[in-house]
Amino acid sequence: MRIAGMPKIELTKRTIVFILGGSAAFVLIAFFIYIPLLKEVKSNGLEWRGIRGQLESARLNLEILDKSGVSKRLIPGREASSAADVIVKQGRGLLLNFRSISQKEIRSENGHEILPLRMEIDGDYRQLGYFFGFLETMKDVIVTVEDFQIRRSDAVSPKVSAVVTLRIHLLKS
- 3 state DSSP class of 2: coil
- Listed in sequence order, the residues at least 6 apart from 123 whose beta carbon sits closer than 8 Å to its beta carbon are 94, 95, 96, 97, 131, 159, 160, 162
Average pLDDT over residues 44-73: 76
Backbone angles phi, psi at 165, to 5 degrees: -115, 115
Reported confidence tier of residue 156, pLDDT bands at 50, 70, 90: low
Backbone angles phi, psi at 163, to 5 degrees: -120, 120
- Listed in sequence order, the residues at least 6 apart from 144 whose beta carbon sits closer than 8 Å to its beta carbon are 166, 167, 169
CATH 2.60.120.620 for the 77-170 domain, yes or no: no
Q: What percent of the chain lies above the pLDDT cut of 90?
A: 28
pLDDT at 94 > cutoff 90: yes
Residue spans of alpha helices (H) in the chain = 13-29, 35-68, 80-93, 125-137
pLDDT at 3 > cutoff 70: no
61 vs 35, residue with greater confidence? 35
Cα separation, 25 vs 153, in Å, equals: 81
Cα separation, 135 vs 19, in Å, equals: 77
- 3 state DSSP class of 39: helix
Specify the DSSP class assigned to residue 7: P
1 vs 125, residue with greater confidence? 125
Q: 10-19, 61-70, 94-103, 120-129: which has the minimum mean pLDDT?
A: 61-70
